């Protein structure tokens, strides 16, 4: 594994779906609290180094409905708006970017690509919940747009531990560099 060096002027942290409804779930293998804490540590370090931090949320009341075999069942009534807000514990700060998406990936139908490219960003450090939905979709979309990615294993989690493990051992190493929170923090220093 090659040593990781991150240039703050060309690297952004993108945090996926650490919103009230999602951090209230019980992901595995890492707890929501651990994912939030590691993402928050990374966000603080990125800000100190002058690197952009973007929080992405999904609007649960405007989630794109597509013809699929297993649609999301969010109920018949609108969810309270607070369900789609970034959790206070996630550490969103004034000056951070806030992106609202309508499906799994953070690039499709949003201005995230333009926000990053206009800042000269070519590398994205990615964290969040869920590994196999928002995180993986964002990494796949973003690599297709030419961004390099670092996926932070202990700052992501899933609804299924085996799916998380498979993604980090087999899928992500072909799309990106896989590192821990501590390794990313060291790479920024």
The percent of the chain in helix, strand and coil, each rounded to the nearest 5, is: 40, 20, 40
Q: Could you report the per-residue pLDDT of 41-56, keeping only the tens digit for each?
A: 999 999 999 999 999 9
Helix (H) or strand (E) holding 132: none
Residue 60: the pLDDT is: 85
Residue 75: the pLDDT is: 67
Q: Does the structure show a pLDDT above 80 at 176? A: yes
Residue carrying the six token digits 């990374």: 42
Q: Could you report the per-residue pLDDT of 72-127, keeping only the tens digit for each?
A: 766 678 888 889 899 999 999 999 999 999 999 999 999 999 999 999 999 999 99
Rounded CA separation 165/171 (Å): 10
Residue 69: the pLDDT is: 86
């Amino acid at each position: 594994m090659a040593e990781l060096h991150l240039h703050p002027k060309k690297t952004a942290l993108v945090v996926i779906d650490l919103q009230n409804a999602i951090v209230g779930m019980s992901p595995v293998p890492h707890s929501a609290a651990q994912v939030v804490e590691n993402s928050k540590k990374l966000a603080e370090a990125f800000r100190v180094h002058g690197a952009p931090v973007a929080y992405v949320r999904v609007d649960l009341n405007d989630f794109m409905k597509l013809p699929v075999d297993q649609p999301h069942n969010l109920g018949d009534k609108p969810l309270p708006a607070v369900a789609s807000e970034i959790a206070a514990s996630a550490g969103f700060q004034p000056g951070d970017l806030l992106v609202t998406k309508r499906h799994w990936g953070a690039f499709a139908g949003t201005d995230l690509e333009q926000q990053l490219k206009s800042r000269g960003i070519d590398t994205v450090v990615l964290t969040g919940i869920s590994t196999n939905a928002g995180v993986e979709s964002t990494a796949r979309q973003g690599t297709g747009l030419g961004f390099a990615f670092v996926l932070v294993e202990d700052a992501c989690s899933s609804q299924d531990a085996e799916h998380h493990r498979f993604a980090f051992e087999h899928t992500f190493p072909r799309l990106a560099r896989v590192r821990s929170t501590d390794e990313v923090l060291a790479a920024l220093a």
